[in-house]
A and B are shown apart, each in its own frame.
Chain A
């Protein structure tokens, strides 16, 4: 039978979901462990000392390391989406709607989700592996035995950094995608940049922008928190570090889709309520 106390003993790194438990038990243990870790994060968030320097260092690292990858992916995303949609739009004689359709798709859905998935792969696995190797080389224990709280220093700074950096990266990816779309349209035809901007931004409303932006904060929070959780409780040496990095990517990708699903439903409900 599942011992719920195990979940709370996990903070001492003594209990891990294992093969003796059923899948459902392991799922509950993971969920309980993650919930407890989230509570710990919020407790430490408001507890001094505040590590501004480490937060900025992490934000800079996260932003800089993903910028080229997101830039290239976003450019191709805008370009391909436009090239694929163009013949269909032309068939309906609605080619002039192409920039608008691409911008709505990118801003509402494709931009945030694709950027978050790239970040889950690059940043989530990085955090999982970094904290995992700190755990197996006893660096986290060393922080604890020197009387400092590792959650405050390692987890709070990283989760805040991802929470604030992912929305910025999404906005950056959206603009690069627009540029990709503009290039795609101009590959065979000609459209001035001013006209493209007008056509692209005309169908965008606050109800497209606001929910799409809000959900990116949750994406960032989930990527940071899951990466930290998997790394912080990693064990079994280097094999455990690999597993931590891998499961950080898998779980955060899944959570991104779940958050997206909830965000879309909530946006739909709120648009009916307010408009």
Chain B
């Protein structure tokens, strides 16, 4: 349990994400009722919860893809809802988002997928620099061989890792994972979970991981939260929640 040992160090670190009383409803249906969350620098937070409970909505609010109805949501100390387009784009280069369905651009090769955010954000103008970063990102996910392949030629696990590489290429300080191991076999899931842990160790990035995969949660989390009825119902380490007295919390771990 490498990740759990870091919890005490995290408490003294600064918060990179601060959420207070966040609310979000769709067509009168309240999804997020009262969300309060602080994520510290280099911390991996796992959010568990039933399907359709609003976990993905929460991380989409953090990146500004969905706007909250009320409450405060600060990333690096700045209120996301008050940011203009330019500030939001700058924030988005610092916050990586890994989609559940990978969201690789299917008309582009792997190289072009990785090149796209660099070229569009004009982070590196020199093509040699860009090539170097692409190679580095692909090596970090062990997929350098796939550089000239199209997304349709890749397996589910490979697509997921390319999605991670595309996010890592911008060297984000926060990474939001939307069900990173869903639809993958146990071995590939473990590879992805190890990769998440490796990213935290190497790049010191903070992460919020939305998952149903308890093995992934166990391996990658410093702290876990259970989302229920629009609020965080329980919080603690993997073992604390697993051994909780609350029946609802224990129900999540019954497959373990």
Contact = CB atoms under 8 A, between A and B. Distances in A.
Interface of A: 12, 14, 49, 134, 137-139, 141-149, 153
A255 B40 CA distance: 54
B120 interface: yes
B66 A147 contact: no
Nearest to B93: A147
B171 to A, nearest CB: 12
Given A12-B67, A49-B122, A146 B106 contact: no
B99 A147 contact: no
B184 interface: no
Question: What are the nearest 6 A-B pairs in CB distance?
Answer: A142-B103, A146-B117, A148-B120, A147-B92, A138-B103, A147-B89
29 contacts: A14-B66, A49-B119, A134-B105, A137-B101, A137-B103, A137-B106, A138-B99, A138-B100, A138-B101, A139-B104, A139-B106, A141-B65, A141-B99, A141-B103, A142-B99, A142-B103, A142-B105, A145-B65, A145-B96, A145-B97, A146-B120, A147-B90, A147-B121, A147-B170, A148-B89, A148-B116, A148-B117, A148-B120, A148-B121
Interface of B: 63, 65-67, 89-90, 92-93, 95-97, 99-101, 103-106, 116-117, 119-122, 166, 170
Contact of B92 (A14, A134, A146, A153): A146
Contacts of A141: 65, 97, 99, 103
A14 B60 CA distance: 13
B97 A142 contact: yes
A24 to B, nearest CB: 21
A141 B166 CA distance: 14
Contacts of A49: 119-120, 122
A153 B166 CA distance: 18
B103 to A, nearest CB: 4
Contacts of A153: 120
Contacts of A14: 66
A264 B194 CA distance: 67
Contacts of B65: 141, 144-145
B116 A145 contact: no
Contact of B103 (A12, A139, A147, A149): A139
A89 to B, nearest CB: 50
Nearest to A133: B106
B241 to A, nearest CB: 29
Nearest to B123: A147
B63 A145 contact: yes
Contacts of A147: 89-90, 92-93, 117, 120-121, 170
A137 B100 CA distance: 9
A139 B116 CA distance: 12
Nearest to A152: B120
B6 to A, nearest CB: 27
Contact of B93 (A139, A146, A149): A146
B117 A12 contact: no
Given A137-B103, A145-B92, A147-B170, 12 more contacts: A49-B119, A137-B101, A139-B103, A139-B106, A142-B104, A143-B116, A145-B63, A145-B96, A146-B92, A146-B93, A146-B166, A147-B121
Contacts of A146: 92-93, 116-117, 120-121, 166, 170
B107 to A, nearest CB: 8
Contacts of B97: 141-142, 145
- The residue in A14, A138, A141, A146 that gathers the most chain B C-beta atoms within 10 A of its C-beta is A146
Contacts of A134: 105
Instruction: Report which residue of A12, A137, A145, A149 has the largest number of chain B beta carbons within 10 angstroms of its beta carbon.
Output: A145
Contacts of B93: 146-147
Contact of B105 (A12, A139, A144, A149): A139
A145 B172 CA distance: 11
Contacts of A143: 105, 116
A198 to B, nearest CB: 48
Nearest to B91: A147
A132 B201 CA distance: 38
A116 to B, nearest CB: 26
A142 B178 CA distance: 12
A153 B63 CA distance: 20
Contacts of A145: 63, 65, 92, 95-97
